[in-house]
């Protein structure tokens, strides 16, 4: 396969598509699929066959606004329909060429206007099981260009120039990481893609793996060329069976097209990828634990250094990046580092995909330029808090992050700004809470999560999270004292400063951030025996106030 | 040096051949332990002592390591599942939208605690740490099939359908 052959495939797909009068793109992502998108697609195909119009019905990945699902987009008119069911098929087909079906049309202009799509550029436009669809949208062009026109150093340089930072949450500069692995000695090196999306409440990586799997494979192959690795592992959660199936198909197709394997594009570069299944352990998102898991062991972290970039999988230099990081690579190589660096804020470049969920009108996936205000994401893109409730906090970063209160909504989203207010960027979960959520209970929820997910290797995390959970439970059921509160604060600092890996070091964040911004709720529970949100089941009687 | 001969299959149950296939595909390498346990669980529904022993011997992994792995990862189950499984997602979005109430409701309805199966072996009650359908929270999986925006009534109705079957 070379660039000319690639262009030939792309052209023939475009020609094929041009033969149709209309394209009906049906979102088949989990949210839509669970509401009958498959039946809808079949109905559209059946009705399309008898309508006399030349109609292409295409299965696509997540289009974004899941709360309007199942979704259909009609091209070339770019009409978006929401809440579509199989019995709407006839109506939609007969409207083609006439006025669109008004009752099904979604008014989501505001939702989309503020978004910039880089990672999700193909979402809703390609069939994830067809490699040629991906090629028709400039897929694998970046890989072949890198192989034929760039040196490995040149690729690393371009990624560095782009200012891309790790999208798994830590925000380590990607170019720097690649440079370290490239410089590490030895013939055998590995590329690992972290698809162990453990943050409960986040599903960006799942959607990319299911909706645009080739984008990740291409990113990994480019990384392999840049750092001198010929073998990649894709570590995917077992809870994502569709992602595993799509990636398996994608790998097979890529091999068939000669885009994976030996002597790619007539060069001496070889690269292939193997899938490894996770088995439900949050700690495996930590890179040394993930490596242990690929080696078939319990996922317990190791002290760093040595960093995986020097000594990783089976002791070899290993490059580990998150799914979304790899998904950014091909567009950067195609369009240049400067193009990417022009988006975003000063120290956080590009875009970020967020899974917007919780008490918000438009739930789903959004991709926004870094630096955008939280308020714009929540009030404009998300459509605000529904049902007449008031906004209380937004949680980012999952169990490692924190809750950000209403008065900070004008904060621009970047790695540094979020860290400063006691949260983290995290992998991209963004959960909105309203006045019906109790912040003490939320803190307890996350601490319980970390307690169950602690691998047990180091004491601060294993015992510390358990004691934090006990104290929080006492406060929640009304039997806590102010001494418990100060003990909790002390314990948070100890666990944060002395744990071995990221899980323990960040586990106190949900408690610390809620204590910082919602201390009155803790005091309410302890002194007034009252949960204003009405979530906690307070058992102890109120103290008689003198 | 003597060459390694994998142990014979525990019985002529065809499913062992599938398990053996996974190990053979990986050249009986030790790092295939998790992959193989996944195959055991998908073929038999759970991991029992015999299967863990067989896999450990076949891959030349100490029994302690095999058992350690089987118990470390939440995805592996050491007990046979019931005829039907109700899995309640307890991810953050589902929690915010009241998954804890659904769980309490199911426990009361079935009379079993989380992680257990009803005495007649009909229904197992499980939780999942986020299945990634957060936009439709609260989410449950009825025998693996995702149902979103689950109400208390719908949940009870489903459980009743299973228990009277």
Tell me which residue in B76, B130, B133 faces A279 most closely, judged by beta carbons: B76
Instruction: Output the pLDDT for position A53.
Output: 87
Q: Judged by CB atoms within 8 Å, which residues 183-212 of A form the interface with B?
A: 197-203, 206-207
Q: What is the mean predicted confidence (pLDDT) over A19-47?
A: 95
Q: Of A434, A467, A485, which closes a domain?
A: A434
CB contact under 8 A, B137 and A358: yes
C-beta atoms surrounding A545 within 10 Å: 6
Do A468 and A389 share a structural domain? no
Residue range A1-11, pLDDT digits in tens: 899 999 999 99
Instruction: Output the pLDDT for position A169.
Output: 83
Tokens, residue A319: 């490059």
Q: Which CATH architecture has domain B84-164?
A: 3-Layer(aba) Sandwich (3.40)
Do A429 and A303 share a structural domain? no
Tell me which residue in A30, A200, A446 faces B146 most closely, judged by beta carbons: A30
Instruction: Output the pLDDT for position A540.
Output: 64
A546 has pLDDT over 70: no
| Residue B78 in contact with partner chain A when CB distance is under 8 A | no
Non-local (6+) Cβ contacts of A403 within 8 A are: A393, A394, A395, A423, A433, A439, A442, A510, A513, A514, A517, A518
The domain spanning residue A402 has which CATH number?
3.10.20.600
A543 has pLDDT over 80: no
Q: Of A317, A341, A365, which closes a domain?
A: A341
In a domain, A320, yes or no: yes
Rg over CA atoms, chain A: 25
Torsion of CA A159, A160, A164, A168, to 10 degrees: 90
Instruction: Output the pLDDT for position A545.
Output: 47
Q: What is the least distance, in Å, from the CA of A364 to any CA of chain B? A: 5
Contact between residue A352 and residue A370 where contact means Cβ atoms under 8 Å apart: yes
Do A334 and A248 share a structural domain? yes
Q: How far is residue A485's CA from residue A483's CA, in Å, rounded to a whole number?
A: 5
- In chain A, which residue's Cα lies nearest the Cα of B32? A296
The domain spanning residue A23 has which CATH number?
3.40.30.10
**Residue from A20, A41, A22 nearest A84 by CA:** A41
Do A20 and A153 share a structural domain? no
Q: How many CA atoms lie within 13 A of A447 on its CB side?
A: 30
Do A369 and A301 share a structural domain? no
| Residue B138 in contact with partner chain A when CB distance is under 8 A | no
A52 has pLDDT over 90: no
* Strand segments (E) across chain B: 84-89, 123-128, 140-142, 145-147
Tell me which chain B residues have a C-beta less than 8 angstroms from the C-beta of A355. Answer: 134-135
Do A195 and A46 share a structural domain? no
CB contact under 8 A, B129 and A293: no
Residue range A470-523, pLDDT digits in tens: 999 999 999 999 999 999 999 999 999 999 999 999 999 999 999 999 999 999
**Residue from B81, B49, B44, B45 nearest B67 by CA:** B49
Q: What is the mean pLDDT of chain A?
A: 95
Q: What is the mean predicted confidence (pLDDT) over A106-114?
A: 90
Q: Report the greatest alpha carbon distance in chain B.
A: 66
Residue range A400-455, pLDDT digits in tens: 999 999 999 999 999 999 999 999 999 999 999 999 999 999 999 999 999 999 99
Do A151 and A98 share a structural domain? no
Residue range A160-208, pLDDT digits in tens: 999 999 999 889 999 999 999 999 989 999 999 999 998 998 999 999 9
| Residue B128 in contact with partner chain A when CB distance is under 8 A | yes
Q: What is the mean predicted confidence (pLDDT) over A365-386?
A: 96
Do A288 and A184 share a structural domain? yes
Exposure class string for A383-419: b at 16+ Cβ within 10 A, else e: bbbeeeeebbbbbbbbbbbbbbbeebbebbbbbebbe
Q: Of A108, A129, A150, which closes a domain?
A: A108
CB contact under 8 A, B34 and A455: no
N-term to C-term CA, chain B: 59
Do A334 and A292 share a structural domain? yes
Tell me which chain A residues have a C-beta less than 8 angstroms from the C-beta of B46. Answer: none
Q: How far is residue A20's CA from residue A103's CA, in Å, rounded to a whole number?
A: 25
Residue written as tokens 């009241």?
Answer: B98
Q: What is the least distance, in Å, from the CA of B60 to any CA of chain A? A: 12
Question: Is this structure's pTM higher than 0.90?
Answer: yes
In a domain, A363, yes or no: yes
Tell me which residue in B33, B74, B132 faces A296 most closely, judged by beta carbons: B33
Do A372 and A276 share a structural domain? no
The verdict on ipTM greater than 0.90 is: yes
Contact between residue A209 and residue A195 where contact means Cβ atoms under 8 Å apart: yes
**Residue from A6, A110, A104 nearest A64 by CA:** A110
Q: How far is residue A287's CA from residue A313's CA, in Å, rounded to a whole number?
A: 10
Do A447 and A410 share a structural domain? no
Residue A541 per-residue DSSP state: P
Tell me which residue in A30, A33, A200 faces B92 most closely, judged by beta carbons: A200
Full residue range of the structural domain in which residue A521 is found: 439-545
Do A358 and A313 share a structural domain? no
Domain ranges of chain B: 14-72, 84-164
CB contact under 8 A, B133 and A355: no
A138 has pLDDT over 60: yes
Tell me which residue in B31, B69, B129 faces A294 most closely, judged by beta carbons: B31
Report residue A319's pLDDT band, with 50, 70 and 90 as the boundaries: very high
Tell me which residue in A203, A279, A431 faces B34 most closely, judged by beta carbons: A279
Question: Best of B130, B137, B148 to disrupt the A interface by mutation (most A CBs within 10 Å)?
Answer: B130
Rg over CA atoms, chain B: 19
Tens-level pLDDT at each residue, chain B (165 residues)? 567 888 999 999 999 999 999 999 999 999 999 999 999 999 999 999 999 999 999 999 999 999 999 999 999 999 999 999 999 999 999 999 999 999 999 999 999 999 999 999 999 999 998 999 999 999 999 999 999 999 999 999 999 999 887
CB contact under 8 A, B133 and A240: no
Q: How far is residue A512's CA from residue A503's CA, in Å, rounded to a whole number?
A: 15
Report residue A300's pLDDT band, with 50, 70 and 90 as the boundaries: very high
The domain spanning residue A452 has which CATH number?
1.20.1440.230
**How many folded domains does chain A comprise?**
4
| Residue B38 in contact with partner chain A when CB distance is under 8 A | yes
Non-local (6+) Cβ contacts of A54 within 8 A are: A19, A20, A21, A22
Give ∠ CA A345-A166-B38 in degrees, rounded to 5: 145
Q: Judged by CB atoms within 8 Å, which residues 416-455 of A form the interface with B?
A: 429, 431, 433, 437, 442, 445-446, 449, 453, 455
Report residue A318's pLDDT band, with 50, 70 and 90 as the boundaries: very high
In a domain, A514, yes or no: yes
Tell me which residue in A67, A297, A445 faces B69 most closely, judged by beta carbons: A297
Q: What is the mean predicted confidence (pLDDT) over A20-31?
A: 95
């Amino acid at each position: 396969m070379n660039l000319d052959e690639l262009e030939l495939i792309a052209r023939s797909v475009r020609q094929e598509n041009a033969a149709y009068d209309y394209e009906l793109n049906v979102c088949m992502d989990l949210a839509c699929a669970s509401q009958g998108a498959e039946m809808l697609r079949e109905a559209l195909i059946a009705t399309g066959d008898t309508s006399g119009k030349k109609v292409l019905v295409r299965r696509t990945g997540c289009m974004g606004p899941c709360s309007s699902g199942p979704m259909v987009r009609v091209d070339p008119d770019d009409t978006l329909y929401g809440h579509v069911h199989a019995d709407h098929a006839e109506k939609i087909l007969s409207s083609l060429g006439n006025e669109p079906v008004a009752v099904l049309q979604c008014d989501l202009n505001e939702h989309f206007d503020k978004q910039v799509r880089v990672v999700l550029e193909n979402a809703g436009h390609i069939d994830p099981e067809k490699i040629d669809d991906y090629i028709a949208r400039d897929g694998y062009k970046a890989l072949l260009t890198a192989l034929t026109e760039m040196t490995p150093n040149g690729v690393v340089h371009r990624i560095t120039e782009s200012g891309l930072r790790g999208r798994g949450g830590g925000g380590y500069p990607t170019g720097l990481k690649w440079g370290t692995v490239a410089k590490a000695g030895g013939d055998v090196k590995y590329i690992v893609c972290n698809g162990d999306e453990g943050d409960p409440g986040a599903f960006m990586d799942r959607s990319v793996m299911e909706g645009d799997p080739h984008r990740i494979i291409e990113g990994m192959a480019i990384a392999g060329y840049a750092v001198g690795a010929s073998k990649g592992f894709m570590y995917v959660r077992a809870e994502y069976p569709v992602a595993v199936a799509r990636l398996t198909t994608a790998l097979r197709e890529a091999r068939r097209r000669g885009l994976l394997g030996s002597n790619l594009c007539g060069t001496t570069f070889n690269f292939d990828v193997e899938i490894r299944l996770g088995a439900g352990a949050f700690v495996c998102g930590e890179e040394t634990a993930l490596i242990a898991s690929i080696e078939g062991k319990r996922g317990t972290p190791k002290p760093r250094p040595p960093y995986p970039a020097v000594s990783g999988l089976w002791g070899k230099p290993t490059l580990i990046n998150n799914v979304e990081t790899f998904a950014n690579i091909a567009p950067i190589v195609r369009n240049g580092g400067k193009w990417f660096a022009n988006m975003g804020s000063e120290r956080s470049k590009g875009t970020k995909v967020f899974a917007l969920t919780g008490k918000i009108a438009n739930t789903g996936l959004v991709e926004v330029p870094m630096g955008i205000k939280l308020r714009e994401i929540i009030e404009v893109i998300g459509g605000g808090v529904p049902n007449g409730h008031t906004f209380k906090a937004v949680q980012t970063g999952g169990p490692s992050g924190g809750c950000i209160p209403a008065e900070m909504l004008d904060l621009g989203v970047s790695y540094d700004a979020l860290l400063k207010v006691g949260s983290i960027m995290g992998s991209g979960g963004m959960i909105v809470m309203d006045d019906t959520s109790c912040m003490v209970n939320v803190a307890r929820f996350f601490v319980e999560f970390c307690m169950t997910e602690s691998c047990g290797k180091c004491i601060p995390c294993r015992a510390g999270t358990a004691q934090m959970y006990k104290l929080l439970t006492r406060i929640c059921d009304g039997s806590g004292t102010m001494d418990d509160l100060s003990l909790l604060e002390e314990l948070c600092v100890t666990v944060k400063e002395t744990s071995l890996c990221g899980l323990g070091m960040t586990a106190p964040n949900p408690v610390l951030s809620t204590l910082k911004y919602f201390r009155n709720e803790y005091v309410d529970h302890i002194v007034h025996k009252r949960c204003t949100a009405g979530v906690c089941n307070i058992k102890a009687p109120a103290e008689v106030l003198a | 040096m003597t060459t390694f001969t994998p142990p014979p299959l525990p019985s002529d149950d065809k499913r062992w051949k599938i398990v053996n296939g996974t190990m053979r595909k990986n050249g009986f390498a030790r790092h295939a332990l998790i992959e193989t346990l996944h195959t055991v669980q998908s073929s038999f529904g759970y991991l029992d002592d015999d299967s863990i022993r067989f896999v450990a011997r076949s891959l030349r992994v100490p029994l302690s390591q095999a058992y350690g792995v089987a118990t470390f990862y939440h995805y592996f189950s050491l007990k046979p599942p019931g005829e039907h499984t109700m899995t309640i997602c307890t991810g953050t979005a589902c929690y915010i939208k009241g998954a804890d109430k659904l769980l309490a409701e199911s426990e009361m309805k079935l009379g079993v605690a989380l992680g257990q199966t009803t005495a007649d072996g009909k229904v197992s009650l499980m939780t999942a740490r986020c299945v990634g359908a957060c936009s439709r929270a609260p989410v449950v999986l009825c025998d693996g099939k995702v149902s979103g925006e689950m109400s208390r009534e719908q949940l009870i109705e489903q459980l009743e359908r299973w228990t009277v079957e």
